[in-house]
Amino acid sequence: MVKQRSQEVGLSLVGIIANPASGKDIRRLVAYGSVFDNQEKVRIVRRVLLGLAAAGVERICYMPDYFGIVERALARVEVNITVFPTRFPLKGNQEDSIHAARTMEKQGAACIITLGGDGTNRAVAKGNSSVPILPVSTGTNNVFPSMVEGTIAGLAAGFVAGKLVPVEESTFLSTRLEIVLDGKVVDLALVDAVVYNDAFMASRAIWNMDKVRQIFLNRAKPDSIGLSSIGGLIHPIEAEEPQCLYLELGGNGQPVTAPVAPGIIEKVFIRTEKVMKMGEEVKIGFTPSVLALDGEREVEVRQGQYAAVRLGKDGPVVVDVGRTMSAAMKRKVLAPGYINRRP
């Protein structure tokens, strides 16, 4: 039986932000990415709810949406948890995720589970400065979130929220890429910031590598997809490292062949490679241009405007699901009193 009533002070609270628009952008047309439908998100949330219940979570606050992802998930499970929505005027865009995260932080959430891509988590990070995020990927072009089974995500979030595992053993602090215009930080990215040789926003997603001039990578692994794969093939950057990789592309550079989108493998030419340290700033050398943040065009840089990207330390706290479950195993959270009788 699901209880839906107002907030109760002093009980563990987990937030759920499921983006109904994730997994459906233009890259499904220009590349070979899969469409991640909302019915599958409902099924994931359903398993998340059961995991949270098993971990002893008492309250859940969720972001409502036009599809009703969490409400549909609740209709098919019986969990003894108080569930209530965030309350603010919905806009049907990334502002909803920002406001939901801000509301959950104010209400005392101990963990926020996100279902979405890099852009969804970027929005959540913009609205939340302290609550650990557990990102579940819903798409094929993501780097920040990972493909986590919903049941395990719910258990891990519950262990963190209920303080059943130490924060220092289950989370890490991510850095962030700060976008500086005329001396002021105007936006941020969690995975990559890309300088795109275009004067207009047009379609938000980017896919034409001929127009990419500079890339700043907060995360880069050889097995990742998207623009971060370029850096991952020459200088990997782990999620917890206090540094980022700067690349300038050009026709007379060194060739690297990388999977820049699902099913799209292209050769790019790297003219400059530089590892940026914490607080370091690199100027954007192409104006006018558009900055794509975590895969979507977000900021226009006008002719004559000073623009730069700086590595900042105040990124989100991220739940590492593997480390969290290992910490729970060591403390026998799910096996209290168990005695190892192996010879």
Quote the pTM value: 0.92
Distances (CA, A) of 189 to 49, 179, 291: 29, 8, 10
In the prediction, which pLDDT does 339 show? 87
In the prediction, which pLDDT does 337 show? 87
Let me know if the fold of 13-174+316-330 is the same as that of 176-312: no
**Sorting pLDDT into bands at 50, 70 and 90, what band is 23?**
low
Query: 115-161: per-residue pLDDT in tens?
Result: 999 999 999 999 998 999 999 999 777 899 999 999 999 999 999 99
**Sorting pLDDT into bands at 50, 70 and 90, what band is 84?**
very high
Residues 295-332: b if buried by 16+ CB within 10 A, e if exposed: bbbbbbbeeeeebbbbbbeebbbbbbbebbbebbeeee
Q: What is the spatial distance between Cα 302 and Cα 284, in angstroms, rounded to a whole number?
A: 11
Residue 223 CB burial class (10 angstroms; 0-12, 13-18, ≥19): exposed
Residue 8 has pLDDT above 50, yes or no: no
Domain 13-174+316-330 has CATH 3.40.50: yes
In the prediction, which pLDDT does 71 show? 97
Residue 324 has pLDDT above 80, yes or no: yes
Distances (CA, A) of 110 to 17, 104, 134: 14, 9, 11
In the prediction, which pLDDT does 5 show? 36
- Domain limits, the chain: 13-174+316-330, 176-312
Residue indicated by tokens 């303080």: 163
In the prediction, which pLDDT does 142 show? 87
Query: 289-318: per-residue pLDDT in tens?
Result: 999 999 888 999 999 999 999 999 999 999
In the prediction, which pLDDT does 141 show? 77
Virtual CA dihedral for 277, 189, 145, 143, nearest 10 degrees? -70
**Sorting pLDDT into bands at 50, 70 and 90, what band is 68?**
very high
Q: Which CATH number fits domain 176-312: 3.50.50, 2.60.40, 3.40.720, 2.60.200?
A: 2.60.200
